[in-house]
Amino acid sequence: MTKQKNILPYLLLIPFTIGLIFALTDFSKGFDTSVFHFLRENLSPALDLPLKILTTLGDPKSVIAIIVVLLLIPKVNKKVGLPAALITSTSWIINELVKIIISRPRPEFMLFEETSYSFPSGHAMNNTALYLTILFSLFSIVENKKIKTVLCVVFTVLPFLIGASRVYFGVHYLTDVISGWSLGAFVAIIGFNIYRRLLKNECH
């Protein structure tokens, strides 16, 4: 069982690797474009406002604000705020490096301007890293099973919706977002395990 648990995080690199191949070859560009047009033609325009709010929630300024708030709350600053700050910062650095290396241009059908490269989605990756880290941290504090279930739903659905909003507005290809989710989850799991081990070593 321990070996299986150790392998599981690395399975998250499979979707990222597939997306990377697609980004380098443009193999999925036609599919990604079709997904965007399907969403715009079949979903209600009423979704524009809530999805715009979600994509704004996933902006770097909003992410920083959330981390600062967590760091300022005395009861959770060390157990939640600190790991969230460290792991999300690591995710951001990795995301920026991969974007520069791959240099995938943004989709031509963007509905608002974005200047950075497209792969992988920073919104999807960094928010997945942030919210999963918050979830893992809260799980070590909260004991009530019902509350844990609610936290699990909220903190997994949020990064999913934030990433989906990027596809909806055409600022990312679907493969950018899927790769962002998978790499962000990988960073969160590995990063939190390292943080927890370092914390245990300090206590001893």
Catalytic residue check, 123: yes
Nearest to 115 by CA among 125, 103, 97, 98: 103
List the catalytic residue out of 55, 123, 167, 184: 123
List the catalytic residue out of 129, 130, 172, 185: 172
Question: Is 167 within 8 Å of 43 (Cβ atoms)?
Answer: no
- Round the CA-based radius of gyration of the chain to a whole number and report it: 17
Residues recognised as catalytic: 123, 172
